[in-house]
């Protein structure tokens, strides 16, 4: 798989010029190449005292270091950008930074690192925005869908403001790319933050910034394209990534501008136009959290702004990239669609991570990425509809930024620390994340608003149903919310604590520890304990009772969305099924009595992706709503991008889901 890292290190690139060197004019090639980690010879310093003439500072430092440093310009928060034009390598640049930091007249010194965005173009189309259901967006939208006064900042490659799903979303914008060769738009910094493309060394343009912004706040409920997390919020764009990435200088000044600091030549951003949440789906593994970034971000967060940053795409076991590892970041790792309870294999990880969010994982399927807006020129679909699936922590971060914007919509007084605490205390479980939680929009927004979300007994709690306080989601074929416990004292009379969940009770005549169904039925078995036409629900005494009105229309083997769709009361992996109770299952199904979470075990449909012949007579290999190819009866349950209901398809002119390319990019 060819790797195109857009998360990168947009660094401060340090270049110093020798005293004897003649002034160098515009470079023939972009200052950022495909592989370089910083801008050679450039140095950012913050003088210990505020001086009127930057040239005096440069002259004094040049004499002390035995170098010829020239002033490129003054930058935000009293920092200066200097250049030593004879330095062309990374090691010599870092030596210059270290030497400058030791000088008594320097309060801070940093290189200009290069950060790059994280992204992905792909193969065949698949699920309709599985990532929004995975975080419980629908229940969050019952509380708020955002307001037009709610602003979110995105520092990235710029925005396609004329995209059909971004029309009217722009609130403020500025292009902070200093180098015209990197900007690829024929000029330097200006008021136009639209994205002309970021093609680099043979890699096509990504339109990464629009993909990120679309996840956060694409126009929603307008019968066009995709849905954003914040339906009504508006976008503040700081363009800082161009060809092959961008510098920490350009990026950090874009961040500072969004917080209301004066950054030349951008106009001062009015207080009403400053976003509380700023998303950075960019960075570089192995780069430092430098003094310049730390200084800028500490002052930005002190003003109440929250900076959400992607962790990096270099794999499990690799430390968190910069700037996600910086103290003022809300660092975001990623999970994919196939197993949403574990870290995505590409995601960087470490103690700095605050939350795990949907980033997709296209190693097996193109459609397992995150769907969002791009330019039609890079669309993988026949007909060039302007959307695509990307995967990476770049895609995970905007989910968190979007959810935080909804949290602030219902409680604008939340601080960064309070937001992180709510996200973590109201998150889902990640089995391989060392205690770090997954993002739950429903629970986090409810907690911010001071409300409580409950789950109807028997409803799924794996993405479409949500447990209330004190409950735990018992995973399996029919996930249910049950009372959490550590010992029997936490449970009601007649119940026992088994696997940290209060269940059943020890019935008279049964062996010690054997759990018997409570009441008429056990809700973990769906409707299986009840006669036809009735379903198992909990009554006011938390006892399972068989009641009418819960039977579904679908028969065993038919494709389903949730338990109540099925006459059996059990929907597993998008197919109505039954318990096996030690009996053989039909061909194409396997009895799973170990981890299904259903007493008696469950007949689970086998994957038929590689062998369609495993399905018995009358069964086809279909793509279910759980993103799996399974043996089932009926048409595919694939959700199209414009699907308003589960199971709906793309509009006819757009349905040809054939891709013209198979390239895959990680963002």
Residue 304 lies in a domain: yes
pLDDT at res. 597: 62
Mean confidence (pLDDT) of the chain: 77
Residues 111 and 139 in one domain: no
Mind listing the pLDDT tens digit for each residue in 71-107? Answer: 999 999 989 999 999 998 888 999 999 999 998 889 9
Residues 193 and 295 in one domain: yes
Residue 612 lies in a domain: no
Residues 32 and 149 in one domain: no
Report in angstroms the alpha-carbon separations of 223 from 24, 163, 166, 650, 654: 54, 14, 13, 12, 14
Residues 54 and 185 in one domain: no
Residue listed under structure tokens 């010194």? 109
- CB atoms near residue 660 (< 10 Å): 10
CA 235/CA 114 separation, integer angstroms? 24
Helix intervals (H) in 584-632: none
Mind listing the pLDDT tens digit for each residue in 586-605? Answer: 888 888 766 566 667 788 88
Residues 157 and 77 in one domain: no
Q: What's the distance, CA 578 to chain centroid?
A: 35
Residues 105 and 152 in one domain: no
Of 82, 115, 148, the position where a domain reaches its end is 115
**CA atoms 306, 447, 469, 519: torsion sign:** negative
pLDDT at res. 519: 60
Residues 290 and 368 in one domain: yes
Mind listing the pLDDT tens digit for each residue in 217-267? Answer: 998 877 778 889 998 899 999 999 999 999 999 999 999 999 999 999 999
Mind listing the pLDDT tens digit for each residue in 118-143? Answer: 432 232 332 457 788 788 887 788 78
Residues 217 and 105 in one domain: no
pLDDT at res. 121: 24
Reduce the secondary structure of 297-316 to three states and give it as a string.
HHHHHHCCCEEEEECCCCCC
For the segment 456-479, the average pLDDT, to the nearest whole number, is: 45
Between 433-447, 483-497, 520-534, 595-609, the lowest mean confidence (pLDDT) is in: 520-534
Residues 287 and 416 in one domain: yes
CA 496/CA 518 separation, integer angstroms? 11
For the segment 13-22, the average pLDDT, to the nearest whole number, is: 28
> What is the full DSSP assignment across 302-369?
HTT-EEEEE--SS-TTSPPPBTTTSTTEEEEEEE-SS-TTSB-TT----TTEEEEEE----SS-GGGS
For the segment 291-302, the average pLDDT, to the nearest whole number, is: 95
pLDDT at res. 361: 85
Give every CB contact of residue 581 below 8 A, 6+ residues apart in sequence: 600, 601
Q: What domain range includes position 20?
A: 7-115
* Residue 332 pLDDT class (50, 70, 90 cuts): very high
Q: Looking at the predicted structure, is the pLDDT value of residue 549 above 70?
A: no
Q: Looking at the predicted structure, is the pLDDT value of residue 9 above 50?
A: no
Q: Looking at the predicted structure, is the pLDDT value of residue 6 above 60?
A: no
The CATH number that applies at residue 134 is 3.40.50.200
Mind listing the pLDDT tens digit for each residue in 178-228? Answer: 999 999 998 999 999 999 999 998 888 999 999 999 999 998 877 778 889
Give me the number of domains the chain comprises. 2
Q: What's the distance, CA 39 to chain centroid?
A: 29
CA 381/CA 388 separation, integer angstroms? 8
Mind listing the pLDDT tens digit for each residue in 151-185? Answer: 999 999 999 999 988 999 999 999 999 999 999 99
């Amino acid at each position: 798989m060819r790797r195109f890292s857009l998360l990168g290190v947009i660094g401060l690139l340090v270049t110093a010029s020798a005293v004897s060197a003649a002034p160098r004019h515009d470079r023939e090639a972009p200052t950022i190449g495909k592989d370089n980690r910083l801008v050679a010879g450039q140095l950012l310093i913050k003088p210990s005292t505020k001086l009127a003439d930057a040239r005096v500072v440069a002259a004094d430092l040049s004499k002390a270091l035995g170098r010829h440093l020239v002033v490129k310009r003054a930058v935000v928060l009293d920092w200066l950008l200097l250049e030593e034009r004879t330095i062309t390598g990374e090691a010599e640049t870092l030596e210059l930074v270290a030497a400058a930091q030791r000088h008594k007249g320097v309060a801070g010194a940093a290189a200009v690192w290069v950060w790059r965005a994280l992204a992905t173009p792909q193969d065949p189309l698949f699920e309709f925005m599985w990532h929004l259901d995975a975080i419980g967006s629908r229940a969050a939208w019952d509380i708020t869908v955002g307001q037009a006064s709610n602003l979110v900042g995105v520092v990235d490659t710029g925005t396609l403001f004329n995209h059909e799903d971004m029309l009217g979303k722009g609130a403020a914008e500025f292009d902070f790319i200093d180098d015209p060769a990197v900007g690829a738009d024929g000029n330097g910094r200006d008021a136009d933050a639209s994205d002309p493309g970021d093609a680099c060394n043979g890699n096509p343009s990504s339109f990464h910034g629009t993909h990120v912004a679309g996840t956060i706040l694409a126009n929603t409920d307008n019968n066009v394209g995709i849905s954003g997390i914040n339906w009504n919020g508006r976008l503040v764009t700081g363009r800082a990534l161009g060809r092959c990435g961008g510098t920490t200088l350009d990026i950090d000044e874009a961040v500072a501008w969004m917080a209301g600091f004066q950054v030349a030549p951008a106009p001062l951003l009015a207080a009403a136009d400053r976003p509380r949440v700023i998303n950075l789906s960019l960075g570089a593994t192995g780069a430092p959290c430098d003094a310049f970034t730390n200084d800028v971000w500490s002052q930005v967060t002190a003003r109440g702004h929250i900076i959400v940053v992607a962790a990096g795409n270099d794999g499990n076991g690799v430390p968190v990239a910069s700037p996600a590892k910086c103290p003022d970041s809300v660092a975001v790792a990623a999970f994919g669609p196939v197993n949403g309870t574990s870290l995505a294999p590409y995601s960087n990880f470490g103690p700095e991570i605050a939350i795990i969010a949907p980033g997709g994982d296209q190693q097996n399927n193109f459609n397992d990425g995150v769907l969002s807006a791009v330019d039609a020129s890079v669309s993988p679909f026949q007909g060039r509809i302007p959307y695509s699936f990307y995967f990476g922590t770049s895609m995970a971060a905007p989910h968190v930024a979007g959810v935080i914007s909804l949290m602030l919509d219902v409680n604008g007084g939340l601080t960064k620390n309070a937001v992180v605490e709510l996200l973590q205390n109201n998150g889902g479980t990640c089995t391989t994340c060392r205690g770090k939680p997954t993002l739950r929009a429903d629970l986090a927004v409810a907690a911010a608003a001071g409300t409580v979300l409950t789950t109807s007994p028997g409803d799924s709690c794996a993405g479409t149903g949500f447990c209330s306080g004190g409950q735990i989601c018992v995973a399996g074929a029919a996930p249910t919310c049950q009372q959490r416990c550590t010992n029997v004292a936490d449970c009601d009379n007649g119940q026992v604590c088994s696997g940290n969940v209060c269940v059943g009770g020890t019935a008279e005549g049964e062996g010690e520890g054997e759990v018997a169904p409570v009441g008429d039925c056990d809700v973990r078995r769906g409707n299986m304990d009840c006669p036809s036409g009735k379903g198992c629900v909990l009554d006011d005494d938390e006892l399972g009772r068989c009641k009418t009105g819960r039977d579904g229309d679908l028969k065993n083997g038919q494709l389903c969305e949730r338990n109540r769709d099925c006459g059996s009361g059990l929907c597993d992996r998008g197919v109505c099924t039954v318990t096996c109770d030690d009996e053989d299952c039909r061909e194409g199904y396997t009895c799973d009595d170990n981890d299904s979470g259903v007493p008696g075990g469950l007949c689970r449909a086998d994957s038929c992706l590689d062998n369609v012949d495993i399905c018995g007579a009358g069964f086809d290999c279909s793509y279910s709503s759980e993103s799996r190819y399974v043996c089932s009866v009926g048409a595919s349950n694939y959700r199209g991008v414009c699907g308003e209901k589960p199971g709906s398809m793309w509009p006819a002119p757009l349905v040809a889901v054939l891709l013209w390319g198979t390239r895959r990019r990680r963002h």
